[in-house]
Structure 1
Amino acid sequence: MKPQILIVEDDFLVALAIQDVIEAAGYEVVGPYRRLTSAWDVARSLELSAAFLDIRIEGGTVFPVAKALQNRGIPFAFVTANPELITAKIYPEAPVISKPFAPSDVEGALERLVH
């Protein structure tokens, strides 16, 4: 079974761009999830290798999902148009990818997260 990478993103085209990079690198995509409640359930239950998280999603902000992943030791990156919402003290290991992004931004973050 391929390592699984979670995508939490409410913009279909952005999610598709992230998914393309992840699948091209040989990983399996879980999602994308656009709602906080479903993303939170997945983050707490599935075996994941990493995650890409948009900050503002349907139902609120993604921080409960990030906390669930952090508690489980699953690395993640934020993909956001609002990088000022990230607190480095709370998530010092999380790469931040600013929208709009290039595929190489996602590739670099993926490499950092899974190795």
Structure 2
Amino acid sequence: MNSETKKLRILVVEDEALVAMMMEDTLEELGHEVGAVASRLEDARELARTGDFDLAILDVNLDGEPSYPIAEALKERGIPFAFATGYGNKGLDRSFVGVPTLAKPFVGDDVARLIREMSDTGPSPLS
């Protein structure tokens, strides 16, 4: 992280433990703070409603359930978010077209680019 980059507090929503740990490690290596990690829809939705985060990265599919209710809660609060998915943009619900996505599998440079993109644009394009 360079001197111009702000340390961000990030919510990670991911149901695969290894992917969540990899994301945590990557974010910390980039100089950011993982504010919370959630793997279940209800836990993540509550964090999205009440947590203190600069942005969030959401797995699209949480154990067979879409993470769209979490995205809606973040959108209502004006917190930027992105989806992480192995399905690409085409797998997103039409109401979320335009939301940044992180393709799985990802590498650190992909995460850094995504965070730069979300930080530069401010609130989610759906806000």
After TM superposition, the score normalised by the length of structure 2 is 0.79
Aligned CA-pair RMSD: 1.8
Residue in 1 that maps onto 2:72: 67
Residue in 2 that maps onto 1:43: 48
Residue in 2 that maps onto 1:86: 92
Q: Greater shift after overlay, 4-13 or 36-45?
A: 4-13
Q: What's the CA shift string for 1:5-39, capped at 9, x where partnerless? A: 00000111211221122112222102321100000
Matched position secondary structure for 1:10: coil
Q: Greater shift after overlay, 68-77 or 34-43?
A: 68-77
Query: Which residues of 2 match residues 16-55 of structure 1 at below 5 A?
Result: 16-55=21-60
* Alpha-carbon separation, structure 2, partners of 1:108 and 1:88: 24
Inter-CA distance 18–24: structure 2 relative to 1 (3 Å threshold): same
The letter of the residue matching 1:53 is L
Residue in 2 that maps onto 1:11: 16
* Alpha-carbon separation, structure 1, partners of 2:107 and 2:87: 17
**Displacement over 4 Å in runs of 4+:** none
> Would you say the 8 A contact 1:37–1:59 is kept in 2?
no
Q: Provide the identity percentage.
A: 36
Deviation at 1:91, TM superposition (A): 4.2
1:106 counterpart = 2:127: no
Show structure 2 runs of 5+ residues with no match.
1-6, 121-127
* Alpha-carbon separation, structure 1, partners of 2:33 and 2:47: 15
Matched position secondary structure for 2:31: coil
Residue in 2 that maps onto 1:96: 101
The letter of the residue matching 1:31 is A
The letter of the residue matching 1:90 is F
* Alpha-carbon separation, structure 1, partners of 2:77 and 2:59: 19
Greater relative contact order structure (CA < 8 Å, 6+ sep): 1
Show structure 1 runs of 5+ residues with no match.
none
